Chains A and B, each alone.
Chain A
Amino acid sequence: MSKSIKVVGVGGQGTILLAKILTTVFVEAGYDVKMSEIHGMSQRGGSVSSEIRYGNKVYSPVIEKGDASILVSLEQMEAARNVDYLKKDGVLIVNDYKIHSMVTLNGKIPYPDNILEDLSNRVKTYVIDGTNKAVELGLDKVMNIIMLGALSKVIDLDNLKWEDAIRENVKPQYIDINLKAFKIGLNEVK
């Protein structure tokens, strides 16, 4: 049996690092793991996603729609765009943050304002104040690790060595702040 986690966001938000740490954690715990991402547009403000699948034996590196147990979204509208990847009983973890697209920037179409309301009525949802908490911590970029902390609580497996995986994947001078961010995220999920 394999499980699937999808991580989505906007180019530049740090989905790739989040997915990398997640992959490390499962590999170190001895699972078979496959990870897939489509790059090319990642630095140009487009939608981005990474997919992680783990279990005793994993074949497809790609998650089927309707098969993910967890969807982590670093941005509101990306959660709405990708929610169909979730199983009916899946969990959504969403950063309470909006990033305009070229379409909403010029005001022609408004950015939808009822995303979190709609999604949390239909899916088990954790809304995380990730961006603000990261800014409070002094580095807006660690929002992705705050989200990782929340994710670790939802996954809730005690054989996973999260902090080791963070140490392995971030630059030495940023280890401390990332570990702090991870703990903040962990405490956001009650």
Chain B
Amino acid sequence: MKKILSGNEAVARGVYEASVHFASAYPGTPSTEILQNISTYKHIYAEWAPNEKVALETAIGASIAGGRSFAAMKHVGVNVAADPLFTFAYTGVTGGCVLVTADEPGMHSSQNEQDNRNYAKFAKIPMLEPSNSQESKDMIIDAYELSEKYDSVILFRMTTRVCHSKSLVELGERKEVELIPYKKNFGKYVAIPAIGRKLRHKVEERMNILKEYSEKSKWNYEIDNNSKIGVISSGIAFEYANEAFGDTVSYLKLGFTNPLPANLISDFCDKHEKVYIIEENDPYIEEFAKILGKNVIGKELFPYSGEMTPDVIRRAALSENYKGVELNEDLFVGRPPTFCTGCPHRGFFYELGKKRKKIIVAGDIGCYSLAVGEPYDMMDTLICMGASFSSGHGMQKIMEMKEEDDRRIVTVMGDSTFFHTGINSLINTVYNKGNTINVILDNRITGMTGQQDNPGTGLNLAQETSTIMDIEGIVRAIGIKNIRRVNPNDLQETKDAINWALDLQESSVIITDWPCKLKKRYNDEDFARYDKMWQTKDKVIEDLCTGCKACLRSGCASLIFDPGTKKVSINPNTCVGCDVCLQICPYDAIVKDDKYV
């Protein structure tokens, strides 16, 4: 039976067919839907981890105990999980283990464009690279065979377009795999130096054996179109190359890419007058071919960054120019994403914005990073998950050395980021007598990646009730003495808390406590604080509106300023009655619309 599946859905199907026993992940675009789809198969035990390191470590444990295990993360997540990965590369596996890295050429939703194929080489582990959904499913199944046969975790490298594009997949049958009985194996799994030194040689032997496997792997093959020109490619770039060149060139398609097949590449290069290496991001295959002494064409012709889409290939290799309809740039302006109408982050950033001149804001990864844009302009830094508390602490220490500059550092992160790596950072601030104002924007969900549950939501991946991690209790236990919890939709309460924190000369935590508008997870306390939640709408009394635009500083997409009448109106189709603009209006021109009360 054939079904149209995204690469992420296909991986989940492959995990099911391969009889995997344990799966874990932390959400991150473009990998998030893999675990979400895995959780729809009842045969697989699956769980969200608070971060990628924990996800991989639980998968390592599951493998050691005798189960087939799986972990998935976005490319930058592998940085977080790199510590266990590099030693797991030494120990090898009991049950097969696969780690998916979902890379982002073109950085659609990421802070960098790192090419994680380098991790396979760096950690000395085998790697598979699918080009489409069918390969995503088939390669995952094969990855478990390879993992168990060659005693190694497998790095499974996907990219945004492989993860998120859909294509037809022939489904297979699930093959039951039994759990392996546990036997203590000190010489394999206790990586003390004496054992590590032995394992180091084992890794080298394994990679030498895999060099031979790579030459005959079914995932590495030639497509001979009887051409003088050859193309060597892997992943989605192979599909793009096919689109651009069709059958005018011959191909060496590489799917098993660490270690690379030296003889296959060498013979292919020798057979063709001209060889292009078409790969996204780093010259991973190209450098290997050049070390073999082959005269191939790679990054000197093709861009080092972004997606290697067919038009990019055509322009670079075939000097073809654009032939379509011309763009008229006067006809459109930017449409950046913004906080949803009713988003609890809006009220907080509106109030924080008033302190712009007195503060520096260390940002973090999550929906609240949208506060970088108009009209908030409320981020000075954004580095990685959990970095706002710690980078903010470092900034504060330096600012305190500057006599002429007394700006305070405000750090912001969400609930999921706090559980991810923010707790460690806050411990550091307290331990080292920091003086930062730390804000936890608790919307009770992992918002940006599509509203996944996390340790603070009270539900696990299987939607079973679980212990709710009490953020305030954790903050108090760490040793923060100054804690305030506010409703960010209440501007006075929010403003008071910010002023209170700025007046203190020691570190504080403000928790903004209101659920994500999209997920609508409200408790009784919320309903008590907010009568008829989201059932009302706000409206503008036109006669009272002076056109001062104060309300527009809330950044709400439901507010429309008419340059003709110089009045604001509220779109009743999108307004959810959060009342933030109503509290801002200095002329009381915004009121509850009694049609909806």
Contact = CB atoms under 8 A, between A and B. Distances in A.
Q: Do A and B originate from a single complex?
A: yes
Interface of A: 10-11, 23-24, 27, 32-41, 43-47, 58-62, 64-68, 77-78, 80-81, 83-88, 90, 100-107, 109-110, 112, 114-115, 118-119, 122-123, 140
A64 B310 contact: yes
Nearest to B160: A38
A80 B161 CA distance: 25
B563 A110 contact: yes
Given A61-B239, A102-B373, A33 B334 contact: no
Given A107-B563, A123-B325, 9 more contacts: A34-B166, A45-B337, A61-B132, A66-B325, A83-B328, A102-B557, A103-B334, A106-B375, A107-B561
Nearest to B571: A100
B173 interface: no
B316 to A, nearest CB: 13
B166 A61 contact: yes
B29 interface: yes
A106 B552 contact: yes
A27 B557 contact: no
28 contacts: A23-B166, A24-B4, A27-B4, A32-B168, A35-B167, A40-B108, A44-B340, A45-B337, A45-B340, A59-B239, A62-B161, A64-B309, A77-B331, A77-B332, A83-B327, A83-B328, A84-B326, A88-B323, A88-B324, A90-B324, A100-B557, A102-B338, A102-B555, A105-B560, A107-B549, A107-B562, A115-B332, A122-B325
B240 A11 contact: no
B165 A35 contact: yes
B239 A60 contact: yes
Contacts, number: 181
A81 B243 CA distance: 24
Interface in B567-586: 573
Contacts of A62: 161, 165, 240, 307, 309-310
Smallest CB-CB A-B distances: 4 pairs: A66-B324, A61-B165, A46-B337, A80-B331
B397 to A, nearest CB: 35
Interface of B: 4, 29, 108-109, 132, 160-161, 164-168, 236, 239-240, 242-243, 307, 309-311, 314, 322-328, 330-340, 367, 370, 373-375, 448-450, 518, 549, 552, 555, 557, 559-563, 573
B167 A34 contact: yes
Contacts of B323: 66, 87-88
A109 B333 contact: yes
A84 B325 CA distance: 5
Given A66-B323, A103-B374, A118 B165 contact: no
B337 A65 contact: no
Nearest to A103: B333
B333 A115 contact: no
B559 A77 contact: no
A61 B167 contact: yes
Contacts of B334: 101, 103
A45 B29 contact: no
B332 A37 contact: no
B557 A105 contact: yes
Contact of A101 (B310, B326, B336): B336
Given A102-B338, A105-B559, A60 B160 contact: no
A68 B309 CA distance: 15
B335 A36 contact: no
B433 to A, nearest CB: 39
